[in-house]
């Protein structure tokens, strides 16, 4: 079981070309409100490293968190979420453009965690986004969030539904709860492995 990752906020950027060079980056992608920033906090075991909110649209920029020590160049990148009606259309378009450019232009981006809501996902927009991601040459893994919101009696069926809709194997989805800590140590271990394997 892996201990918390020591992450520190490095910087925010509205455009990919405002970012300094890195060694390797892992990005968190998913619908607004799916729990990306909460997951980042859980991974680091910090409450307020990344800003979270009940209202969709808490994250507005590309937010970079660097694995310590300083200047390691290993980044976990929190992104604004897509597709939530409460965020203005203009803002959504701007984020979409920002995220698309980040994914297509960032050479040190080496992996993606695709978050889907474990209680309700994947949504149609999740599936469109995943299809788009498949056209970009980037490895990605699925994380199902908010596992605590699924009733134990419904859990087996929910897990089946989710993998079926995603068209993947059971073993390809990590179930987590940022709130209860379920699955977090395992995910930390995988993230550590990602940074270690690709680094040398
Ligand atoms: N029950 C439960 N709620 C969660 C969990 N993770 C996140 N939430 C809640 O979901 C809401 C959204 O969480 P965020 O982490 O801000 O979501 P986000 O994906 O970063 O959203 P954007 O920044 O808008 O893209 C907050 O009210 C969180 O408290 C979880 O594991 N369980
Ligand atoms: Mg966020």
Q: What mean pLDDT is predicted for residues 160-167?
A: 97
Which pLDDT value is given to residue 199?
Answer: 44
Domain borders along the chain are: 7-199
At a CB cut-off of 8 Å and minimum separation 6, what does 39 contact?
28, 113, 115, 143, 145, 176, 178, 187
Which pLDDT value is given to residue 45?
Answer: 98
Is 177's C-beta closer than 6 angstroms to any atom of ligand 1? yes
Q: What mean pLDDT is predicted for residues 94-106?
A: 93
Q: What mean pLDDT is predicted for residues 120-138?
A: 94
Q: What mean pLDDT is predicted for residues 23-48?
A: 97
Is 178's C-beta closer than 6 angstroms to any atom of ligand 1? yes
Q: What mean pLDDT is predicted for residues 80-107?
A: 89
Reported as type and span, the H/E element at residue 75 is: strand 74-78
Inform me whether the pLDDT recorded for 29 exceeds 90.
Answer: yes
Which pLDDT value is given to residue 58?
Answer: 85
Query: How high does pLDDT run on average in the chain?
Result: 94
Which pLDDT value is given to residue 46?
Answer: 97
Is 32's C-beta closer than 6 angstroms to any atom of ligand 1? yes
Q: What mean pLDDT is predicted for residues 28-51?
A: 96
Inform me whether the pLDDT recorded for 139 exceeds 50.
Answer: yes
Question: What pTM does this model have?
Answer: 0.95
Alpha helices, DSSP H, located in 141-183:
152-166
Inform me whether the pLDDT recorded for 197 exceeds 80.
Answer: no
Q: Tell me which architecture the domain covering 7-199 has in CATH.
A: 3-Layer(aba) Sandwich (3.40)
Which pLDDT value is given to residue 1?
Answer: 63
- Ligand 1 pocket test, candidate residues 27, 33, 187, most atoms within 8 A of CB: 33
Q: Report whether 105 contacts 137 (CB < 8 A).
A: no
């Amino acid at each position: 079981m892996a201990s918390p990752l020591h992450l520190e906020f490095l910087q925010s950027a509205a455009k990919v070309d405002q970012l300094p060079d890195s060694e390797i980056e892992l990005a968190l992608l998913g619908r607004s409100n799916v729990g990306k920033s909460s997951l980042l906090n859980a991974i680091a075991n910090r409450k307020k490293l990344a800003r979270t909110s009940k209202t969709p649209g808490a994250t507005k920029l590309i937010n970079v968190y660097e694995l310590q020590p300083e200047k390691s160049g290993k980044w976990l990148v929190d992104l604004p979420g897509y597709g939530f009606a409460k965020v203005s259309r203009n803002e959504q378009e701007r984020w979409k453009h920002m995220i698309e450019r980040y994914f297509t232009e960032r050479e040190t981006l080496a992996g993606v965690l695709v978050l889907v809501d474990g209680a309700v996902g994947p949504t149609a927009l999740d599936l469109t986004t995943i299809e788009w991601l498949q056209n970009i040459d980037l490895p990605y893994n699925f994380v199902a969030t908010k596992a605590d919101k699924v009733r134990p009696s419904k859990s087996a069926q929910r897990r089946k539904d989710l993998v079926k809709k995603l068209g993947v194997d059971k073993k390809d989805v990590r179930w987590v709860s940022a709130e209860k800590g379920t699955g977090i140590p395992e995910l930390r271990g995988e993230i550590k492995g990602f940074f270690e394997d690709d680094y040398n």
